[in-house]
Amino acid sequence: MSNVHVVSHPLVQHKLTLMRDKTVSTKGFRQLLNEIGMLLAYEVTRDLPIELIEVETPLAKTMQPTIAGKKLVFAPILRAGTGFLDGMLNLVPSARVAHVGLYRDPQTLEAVEYYFKAPTDVAERLVIVMDPMLATGNSAIAALDRLKRRGVRDMRFVCLLAAPEGVERLTNAHPDVEIWTAAIDEKLNDHGYIVPGLGDAGDRMFGTK
Ligand SMILES: O=P(O)(O)OC[C@H]1O[C@H](OP(=O)(O)OP(=O)(O)O)[C@H](O)[C@@H]1O
Ligand SMILES: O=c1cc[nH]c(=O)[nH]1
Ligand SMILES: [Mg+2]
């Protein structure tokens, strides 16, 4: 799957293994997600274009690299996507933020929108959409659809865990959007949960179950 980048960095893999453990505390889970967010931000920005600009050091004028091209928007899918946000903003503090409020209907597994707020110039930016879980793909597809309706043309999707079904559906629905994930797990269960997975990311982050 050429659209998909599995981030195999040992730090990411180690932290993900810790997060899967059902005995990890809410505090620990949130902290790990934040740390992995930072590492995934590093990976998803790895190929950003650079250009040379002139800088004057105390010793000489010199041409040195700086990030060129579109500015960034981070777009967490509420709620669980916000778990990545602080870590990502630590690396790119000047990024703007778009909030995409979606919940997955537990019966139909359809994504239901309840909030959307994006920077006015979002269409001119590179948008990194983030959500720890890519299960059926319904939420990710709905978020990308919504941002495309706002005119966004350049997007990347970052998650922690994906199910093969979600990767396939997202890739078919949005072949122009590349995916970064720390792992692709075995399957979805009958309730649309990723197996072995890590359970319900939002509930584990916020202690709501
Ligand atoms: O690929 P899908 O089948 O759409 O499933 C993934 C979605 O499910 C979870 O959100 P949930 O609806 O539980 O909301 P929450 O983040 O507020 O807990 C998760 O954070 C994703 O957004
Ligand atoms: O395994 C899953 C699937 C959807 N949402 C989650 O939080 N976990
Ligand atoms: Mg949830």
Task: Tally the domains of the chain.
Answer: 1
Secondary structure (3-state) at 128? strand
Query: Could you read off the pLDDT of 49-63 as tens digits, one per residue?
Result: 999 999 999 999 999
133 lines ligand 2 (CB under 6 A): yes
Q: Tell me what pLDDT residue 2 has.
A: 72
Residue 28 has pLDDT above 90, yes or no: yes
pTM value > 0.95: yes
Residues within a 6 A CB radius of ligand 1: 77-80, 103-104, 109, 111, 131-140, 166, 192, 200-202
What is the atom index within ligand 2 of the atom nearest the CA of 198? 1
The CATH number covering residue 151 comes to 3.40.50.2020
Q: Which tokens is 202 given?
A: 């939002």
DSSP 8-state class, residue 70: P
Host domain of residue 20: 4-206
To test ligand 2's pocket by mutation, which of 195, 200, 203, 209 has the most ligand atoms within 8 angstroms of CB? Answer: 200
Query: Could you read off the pLDDT of 78-134 as tens digits, one per residue?
Result: 999 999 999 999 999 999 999 999 999 999 999 999 999 999 999 999 999 999 999
CA triple 55-48-126, angle to 5 deg? 115
